[in-house]
Structure 1
Amino acid sequence: MFRNFMRGRYGIDQLTIALLVMVLIVNIGMLFLADSILLRIMMILLLVICYMRVFSKNIFRRSQENARFLRCYDLWKERISLKRRRLREHQTYRFFRCPACGQKLRVPKRKGKITITCAKCGHRFDGKT
Protein backbone atom coordinates (compact mmCIF):
# COMPACT_ATOMS: atom_id res chain seq x y z
CA MET A 1 0.00 0.00 0.00
CA PHE A 2 2.77 2.48 0.95
CA ARG A 3 4.76 1.37 -2.09
CA ASN A 4 1.85 2.29 -4.33
CA PHE A 5 1.51 5.65 -2.57
CA MET A 6 5.21 6.42 -3.14
CA ARG A 7 5.11 5.48 -6.82
CA GLY A 8 5.96 8.58 -8.88
CA ARG A 9 7.19 10.51 -5.85
CA TYR A 10 10.77 11.65 -5.27
CA GLY A 11 11.71 9.92 -2.01
CA ILE A 12 14.77 10.40 0.18
CA ASP A 13 18.09 11.73 -1.10
CA GLN A 14 21.28 13.24 0.35
CA LEU A 15 19.78 16.72 0.77
CA THR A 16 16.83 15.30 2.70
CA ILE A 17 19.19 13.38 4.97
CA ALA A 18 21.24 16.56 5.55
CA LEU A 19 18.06 18.45 6.45
CA LEU A 20 17.06 15.72 8.87
CA VAL A 21 20.51 15.89 10.49
CA MET A 22 20.00 19.64 10.87
CA VAL A 23 16.64 18.95 12.54
CA LEU A 24 18.41 16.60 14.94
CA ILE A 25 21.08 19.20 15.71
CA VAL A 26 18.45 21.88 16.35
CA ASN A 27 16.54 19.46 18.56
CA ILE A 28 19.67 18.68 20.60
CA GLY A 29 20.41 22.40 20.75
CA MET A 30 16.99 22.95 22.26
CA LEU A 31 17.89 20.53 25.07
CA PHE A 32 21.00 22.49 26.09
CA LEU A 33 19.81 26.01 25.28
CA ALA A 34 16.64 27.65 26.42
CA ASP A 35 13.61 26.27 24.61
CA SER A 36 13.44 29.08 22.07
CA ILE A 37 10.41 29.61 19.86
CA LEU A 38 12.80 30.52 17.02
CA LEU A 39 14.55 27.13 17.24
CA ARG A 40 11.19 25.36 17.38
CA ILE A 41 9.97 27.22 14.27
CA MET A 42 13.22 26.44 12.46
CA MET A 43 12.92 22.74 13.33
CA ILE A 44 9.31 22.57 12.14
CA LEU A 45 10.18 24.44 8.93
CA LEU A 46 13.03 22.00 8.18
CA LEU A 47 10.72 19.04 8.79
CA VAL A 48 8.07 20.50 6.47
CA ILE A 49 10.70 20.98 3.75
CA CYS A 50 11.82 17.36 4.22
CA TYR A 51 8.28 16.03 3.88
CA MET A 52 7.62 18.23 0.84
CA ARG A 53 10.76 16.92 -0.83
CA VAL A 54 10.04 13.26 -0.04
CA PHE A 55 6.43 13.34 -1.28
CA SER A 56 7.04 15.66 -4.24
CA LYS A 57 6.09 14.46 -7.72
CA ASN A 58 8.42 16.96 -9.40
CA ILE A 59 11.32 14.53 -9.59
CA PHE A 60 13.40 16.57 -12.04
CA ARG A 61 13.37 19.68 -9.85
CA ARG A 62 14.19 17.73 -6.66
CA SER A 63 17.11 15.99 -8.39
CA GLN A 64 18.43 19.38 -9.56
CA GLU A 65 18.24 20.68 -5.98
CA ASN A 66 20.09 17.61 -4.76
CA ALA A 67 22.76 18.02 -7.45
CA ARG A 68 23.33 21.66 -6.40
CA PHE A 69 23.56 20.57 -2.77
CA LEU A 70 26.08 17.85 -3.63
CA ARG A 71 28.25 20.34 -5.57
CA CYS A 72 28.29 22.71 -2.57
CA TYR A 73 28.90 19.82 -0.18
CA ASP A 74 31.81 18.53 -2.29
CA LEU A 75 33.40 22.01 -2.34
CA TRP A 76 32.99 22.29 1.42
CA LYS A 77 34.41 18.80 1.94
CA GLU A 78 37.36 19.60 -0.34
CA ARG A 79 38.17 22.77 1.61
CA ILE A 80 38.01 20.95 4.92
CA SER A 81 40.31 18.16 3.68
CA LEU A 82 42.73 20.75 2.27
CA LYS A 83 42.88 22.54 5.63
CA ARG A 84 43.41 19.23 7.45
CA ARG A 85 46.21 18.28 5.03
CA ARG A 86 47.87 21.66 5.49
CA LEU A 87 47.72 21.25 9.27
CA ARG A 88 49.35 17.82 8.99
CA GLU A 89 52.06 19.11 6.63
CA HIS A 90 52.68 22.28 8.63
CA GLN A 91 55.63 20.66 10.46
CA THR A 92 57.56 19.75 7.30
CA TYR A 93 56.43 22.27 4.65
CA ARG A 94 56.04 26.02 4.30
CA PHE A 95 53.30 27.40 2.08
CA PHE A 96 53.67 30.39 -0.23
CA ARG A 97 51.37 32.13 -2.67
CA CYS A 98 52.68 33.10 -6.09
CA PRO A 99 52.61 36.92 -6.41
CA ALA A 100 51.84 36.70 -10.14
CA CYS A 101 49.00 34.17 -10.37
CA GLY A 102 48.03 33.47 -6.74
CA GLN A 103 48.77 29.72 -6.92
CA LYS A 104 49.51 28.11 -3.54
CA LEU A 105 52.98 26.54 -3.43
CA ARG A 106 54.44 24.05 -0.95
CA VAL A 107 58.16 24.19 -0.13
CA PRO A 108 60.13 21.99 2.32
CA LYS A 109 61.09 23.72 5.56
CA ARG A 110 64.64 24.33 6.78
CA LYS A 111 66.16 25.05 3.36
CA GLY A 112 67.08 28.68 4.12
CA LYS A 113 66.53 31.44 1.59
CA ILE A 114 65.59 29.93 -1.78
CA THR A 115 64.22 30.96 -5.14
CA ILE A 116 60.76 29.49 -5.71
CA THR A 117 59.45 28.88 -9.22
CA CYS A 118 55.70 28.72 -9.67
CA ALA A 119 54.65 25.53 -11.43
CA LYS A 120 51.60 27.20 -12.94
CA CYS A 121 52.98 30.42 -14.46
CA GLY A 122 56.78 30.04 -14.15
CA HIS A 123 57.19 33.22 -12.08
CA ARG A 124 60.28 33.18 -9.83
CA PHE A 125 60.42 34.81 -6.41
CA ASP A 126 62.49 34.52 -3.26
CA GLY A 127 61.26 32.96 -0.04
CA LYS A 128 62.70 32.03 3.32
CA THR A 129 61.90 28.56 4.68
Structure 2
Amino acid sequence: MLTGHQAWQAAAGQPQRFIPAPRQSPEQRLTVAGTDVDAMDLVVATLRRVAEEAQRIAGCMVEDVRLVVPAGWGPRRRTWMRHAAHRAGLPQPRMIEAPVAAGGHLLAAGVQLPVGSFIVVCDAGGGAEVSVLRRGPAGSRSSPP
Protein backbone atom coordinates (compact mmCIF):
# COMPACT_ATOMS: atom_id res chain seq x y z
CA MET A 1 0.00 0.00 0.00
CA LEU A 2 1.44 3.35 -1.02
CA THR A 3 0.78 6.65 0.74
CA GLY A 4 1.61 10.29 0.19
CA HIS A 5 3.66 11.37 -2.80
CA GLN A 6 4.31 7.77 -3.88
CA ALA A 7 0.56 7.10 -4.07
CA TRP A 8 -0.03 10.23 -6.14
CA GLN A 9 2.76 9.24 -8.54
CA ALA A 10 1.42 5.69 -8.91
CA ALA A 11 -2.07 7.08 -9.59
CA ALA A 12 -0.91 8.39 -12.95
CA GLY A 13 -0.42 4.83 -14.22
CA GLN A 14 -3.17 3.09 -12.23
CA PRO A 15 -5.92 5.58 -11.36
CA GLN A 16 -8.38 2.77 -10.52
CA ARG A 17 -6.15 1.83 -7.56
CA PHE A 18 -6.00 5.35 -6.10
CA ILE A 19 -8.06 6.69 -3.19
CA PRO A 20 -7.31 10.41 -2.79
CA ALA A 21 -9.13 10.80 0.55
CA PRO A 22 -8.39 7.72 2.69
CA ARG A 23 -10.30 8.92 5.77
CA GLN A 24 -13.60 7.16 5.26
CA SER A 25 -16.47 6.42 7.56
CA PRO A 26 -16.37 2.92 9.06
CA GLU A 27 -19.55 1.77 7.33
CA GLN A 28 -18.35 2.76 3.85
CA ARG A 29 -17.24 -0.10 1.60
CA LEU A 30 -14.32 0.57 -0.69
CA THR A 31 -13.36 -1.33 -3.79
CA VAL A 32 -9.93 -0.89 -5.33
CA ALA A 33 -9.26 -2.59 -8.66
CA GLY A 34 -12.09 -5.06 -8.00
CA THR A 35 -10.97 -5.93 -4.45
CA ASP A 36 -12.73 -4.93 -1.24
CA VAL A 37 -10.48 -2.84 0.97
CA ASP A 38 -10.94 -2.15 4.67
CA ALA A 39 -11.13 1.62 5.10
CA MET A 40 -9.30 1.31 8.43
CA ASP A 41 -6.27 -0.20 6.68
CA LEU A 42 -6.06 2.92 4.51
CA VAL A 43 -6.26 5.25 7.51
CA VAL A 44 -3.71 3.17 9.47
CA ALA A 45 -1.24 3.29 6.57
CA THR A 46 -1.68 7.06 6.27
CA LEU A 47 -1.26 7.64 10.01
CA ARG A 48 1.89 5.48 10.07
CA ARG A 49 3.32 7.49 7.20
CA VAL A 50 2.55 10.80 8.91
CA ALA A 51 4.06 9.56 12.20
CA GLU A 52 7.23 8.40 10.41
CA GLU A 53 7.62 11.80 8.75
CA ALA A 54 6.98 13.65 12.01
CA GLN A 55 9.56 11.49 13.78
CA ARG A 56 12.08 12.01 10.99
CA ILE A 57 11.65 15.79 11.07
CA ALA A 58 11.47 16.18 14.87
CA GLY A 59 14.11 13.57 15.62
CA CYS A 60 12.02 12.01 18.39
CA MET A 61 9.00 9.78 18.91
CA VAL A 62 5.51 11.21 18.50
CA GLU A 63 4.10 11.70 22.00
CA ASP A 64 1.13 14.03 21.45
CA VAL A 65 -1.40 13.19 18.74
CA ARG A 66 -4.32 15.37 17.75
CA LEU A 67 -6.56 14.16 14.97
CA VAL A 68 -8.90 16.50 13.14
CA VAL A 69 -12.31 14.95 12.53
CA PRO A 70 -15.51 16.29 10.99
CA ALA A 71 -17.73 18.05 13.53
CA GLY A 72 -20.58 15.71 12.62
CA TRP A 73 -18.68 12.58 13.62
CA GLY A 74 -20.24 10.98 16.67
CA PRO A 75 -18.74 8.60 19.24
CA ARG A 76 -18.72 5.54 16.96
CA ARG A 77 -16.69 7.18 14.20
CA ARG A 78 -14.36 8.86 16.71
CA THR A 79 -13.75 5.50 18.41
CA TRP A 80 -13.04 3.99 14.98
CA MET A 81 -10.44 6.71 14.38
CA ARG A 82 -8.88 6.10 17.82
CA HIS A 83 -8.58 2.40 16.92
CA ALA A 84 -6.84 3.34 13.68
CA ALA A 85 -4.36 5.51 15.59
CA HIS A 86 -3.71 2.65 18.01
CA ARG A 87 -3.15 0.18 15.15
CA ALA A 88 -0.73 2.70 13.61
CA GLY A 89 1.31 2.62 16.83
CA LEU A 90 0.41 6.11 17.95
CA PRO A 91 -0.38 7.28 21.48
CA GLN A 92 -4.01 7.93 22.44
CA PRO A 93 -5.09 10.86 20.22
CA ARG A 94 -7.14 13.89 21.16
CA MET A 95 -9.94 14.47 18.67
CA ILE A 96 -10.38 18.03 17.45
CA GLU A 97 -13.38 19.00 15.37
CA ALA A 98 -12.37 20.45 11.99
CA PRO A 99 -14.02 23.86 12.52
CA VAL A 100 -12.36 24.19 15.95
CA ALA A 101 -9.01 23.37 14.33
CA ALA A 102 -9.68 26.08 11.72
CA GLY A 103 -10.50 28.59 14.48
CA GLY A 104 -7.35 27.62 16.36
CA HIS A 105 -5.31 28.12 13.21
CA LEU A 106 -6.74 31.63 12.78
CA LEU A 107 -5.80 32.51 16.35
CA ALA A 108 -2.30 31.04 15.95
CA ALA A 109 -1.87 33.04 12.72
CA GLY A 110 -2.59 36.24 14.63
CA VAL A 111 -6.11 36.96 13.39
CA GLN A 112 -7.81 39.22 15.92
CA LEU A 113 -10.97 37.53 17.17
CA PRO A 114 -12.28 39.18 20.33
CA VAL A 115 -13.62 36.90 23.07
CA GLY A 116 -17.33 36.39 22.46
CA SER A 117 -17.15 36.92 18.71
CA PHE A 118 -18.54 34.38 16.24
CA ILE A 119 -17.03 33.04 13.05
CA VAL A 120 -18.55 30.80 10.40
CA VAL A 121 -16.41 27.97 9.03
CA CYS A 122 -17.47 26.39 5.74
CA ASP A 123 -15.92 23.09 4.68
CA ALA A 124 -16.81 22.31 1.09
CA GLY A 125 -14.56 19.25 0.77
CA GLY A 126 -16.24 15.90 0.13
CA GLY A 127 -19.58 17.39 1.10
CA ALA A 128 -20.59 20.62 2.75
CA GLU A 129 -20.35 21.31 6.44
CA VAL A 130 -20.99 24.71 7.97
CA SER A 131 -20.20 25.44 11.61
CA VAL A 132 -20.54 28.48 13.82
CA LEU A 133 -17.76 29.01 16.35
CA ARG A 134 -17.76 31.28 19.33
CA ARG A 135 -14.43 32.63 20.56
CA GLY A 136 -13.97 31.84 24.23
CA PRO A 137 -11.12 32.81 26.59
CA ALA A 138 -9.21 29.60 25.77
CA GLY A 139 -9.95 29.44 22.02
CA SER A 140 -12.88 28.50 19.83
CA ARG A 141 -15.61 25.94 20.33
CA SER A 142 -18.53 24.80 18.21
CA SER A 143 -21.92 26.23 19.00
CA PRO A 144 -24.82 23.80 19.07
CA PRO A 145 -26.82 23.71 15.80
TM range (shorter): under 0.3
* TM-score where L is the length of structure 1: 0.28
Compare the two structures and name the one with the higher strand fraction: 2
| Structure with the largest fraction of helix | 1
- Select the structure with the greater relative contact order (CA < 8 A; seq sep ≥ 6): 1
TM-score, normalised to structure 2, is 0.26
